[in-house]
Amino acid sequence: MKRTYRYRLYPTTQQATTLTQWLTTCRLLYNNGLAERKNAWETYKKSVTYGEQANQLKGAKKTNQFLQAVHSQVLQDTLRRLDKTFNNFFRRIKKGEKAGYPRFKGKYRYDSFTYPQSGFTLDYRKKKLRLSKIGAITIKLHRPIPSEGVIKTCTIKRDVDHWYACFSVELPNHESQRKLQKAIGVDVGLKSLLTLNNGETIANPRWLRTSEKKVAKEQRRKDRKVKGSNNRYKQNKKVAQVHRKIHYQRKDFHHKLSRKLVDNYDLIVYENLKITNMVKNHHVAKSISDAGWGQLMCFTEYKAEEAGTLVEYVSAYNTTQLCSQCGKLVPKTLATRIHSCPYCGLVLARDHNSAITVLHRSTRYLESLSSSGQGLPVEPV
């Protein structure tokens, strides 16, 4: 299995300037490659391949000093990234999906480049990352890369004014699947981020909502600056720094919460939500994005794979409307927060009832109950 290990870099002023110049060179190469493909199709109805564009690099480097300054494999990976973008575009078209044509990258829309095979060396003793044609950059190795792991690629990423090195590491599959002893059904929400089938609730921190005033304040300051001025550029960085802090707060919380779930349970059952469709409702779009359900599920899934825990997704259809005890349909509006079944008399919090229904829809959970002879819960109708 592959895992990515990310570390903070502390380049010197000169190194940061070089890294920024490399990003600009890669961005222009990407845009020129996109323009070549677009013009070739519009003029001659001809498709340009990655191989054809990569073969042109050698000649282009003879007349372009900026291309000469960048490691050859980094340039090749930039064209490979463009080729992947087109392949994904055509794949979506063939599947009948709505797909946007690949777009040109603006000045602040290209923030990473990759050494795909070689050109980088990690010095653990001196805590340096040696990059070909750039030099040794100080790196904060806050956790070791497993000795059995094989580093495949190194991606240098810019996040506003921070720099990071991301290593893609191939790891062996060590963990075997745990014996299913503890299972949990999870209902995600906005009032409470998570409600478990045992009645436990996890409060929604609402990181964006709590920082909205600060975001608005910095945004107003930016709007007062003259467009294109240096002061507006500086203020734009401050706005981005506020958003970055919110992102890191949410990410840290999700990492800790997903770790807690994986450590305590052998089977974790989520609803299979269509979050992309849900955020089309402008009344709740900001709250759903702030909650970050998709990120939490993703973190839980990859941690579970390492730990031998199972993560299962079940249908979300009518999980809040069905009674978890008798399976009868009990219609509710969004304002109704208590589930009160007129058929069997069950009274529960709406989300608690939903979490139980989610667990009962799990195929693996039902199989474990059947094999253990504990009997099956009433299935929803």
Residue 160 region by backbone torsions, left for phi larger than 0, else alpha for psi between -120 and 50, else beta: left
Tens of pLDDT along 106-138? 988 999 999 998 999 999 999 999 999 999 999
Q: Is the pLDDT of residue 338 over 60?
A: yes
Model pLDDT for residues 131-151, shown as the tens digit of each residue = 999 999 999 999 999 888 899
Judge whether 379 counts as a catalytic residue: no
Beta strands in the chain (DSSP E): 2-10, 112-115, 120-123, 128-131, 135-140, 150-159, 162-170, 183-188, 192-196, 201-203, 267-271, 310-314, 338-340, 347-349
* Catalytic residue selected from 77, 83, 187, 266: 187
What are the helix (H) ranges across 265-362? 275-278, 285-291, 293-307, 350-360
- For residue 317, give the H/E element and its range: none
Give the torsion through C-alpha atoms of 251, 10, 21, 102, to 10 deg.
-10
Whole-angstrom CA distances from 169 to 1, 7, 117, 149 are 8, 13, 12, 6
Tens of pLDDT, residues 62-90? 999 999 999 999 999 999 999 999 999 99
- Report pLDDT for 175: 64
The answer to whether the CB of 187 falls within 8 A of the CB of 193 is no
The catalytic residue among 83, 218, 266, 351 is 351
Answer whether 167's CB lies under 8 Å from 159's CB: no
The pLDDT of residue 108 is: 84
Residue 368 has pLDDT above 80, yes or no: no
Q: Is the dihedral of CA 47, 53, 59, 61 positive or negative?
A: positive
The whole-number pLDDT of residue 372 equals 64
The token pair at 140 is 């904060």
Task: Tell me how crowded residue 214 is: count the other CB atoms within 10 A of its CB.
Answer: 13
Token couple for 222: 């930016």
Instruction: Reply yes or no on whether the pLDDT at 375 is more than 60.
Output: no
Least confident of 20-24, 174-178, 220-224: 174-178
CB atoms within 10 A of CB 325: 19
Is 271 labeled as catalytic in the residue annotation?
A: yes
pLDDT above 60 for 202 = yes
Those residues whose C-beta lies under 8 Å from the C-beta of residue 103, and which sit 6 or more positions away, are: none
Can you tell me the mean pLDDT for 191-207? 94
- Determine contact, residues 81/30, Cβ cutoff 8 Å: yes
Interstrand relation of 310-314 and 120-123 (parallel, antiparallel or unpaired): unpaired
Close Cβ partners of 248 (under 8 Å, ≥ 6 residues apart): none
pLDDT of residue 172: 85
pTM of the model: 0.86
Neighbours of 21 (CB within 10 A): 13
Q: Which of 203-217, 276-290, 357-371 has the weakest average pLDDT?
A: 357-371
How would residue 43 be classed by pLDDT, with cut points 50, 70 and 90?
A: very high
**Residues 146 and 321: beta-carbon distance below 8 Å:** no
DSSP-derived secondary structure for 253-272: HHHHHHHHHHHH-SEEEEE-
77, 218, 266, 271: which one is catalytic?
271
Q: In the chain, where are the structural domains located? A: 2-170, 183-372
Strands 267-271 and 201-203: unpaired
351 is catalytic: yes
Q: How far apart are CA 306 and CA 253, in angstroms?
A: 19
Paired tokens of 59: 């000649």
Task: Say which residue, 368 or 153, is predicted with more confidence.
Answer: 153
pLDDT band at 367 (very low <50, low <70, confident <90, very high): confident
* Digit-coded pLDDT (tens) for 231-251: 999 999 999 999 999 999 999
The tokens for 257 are: 């919460």
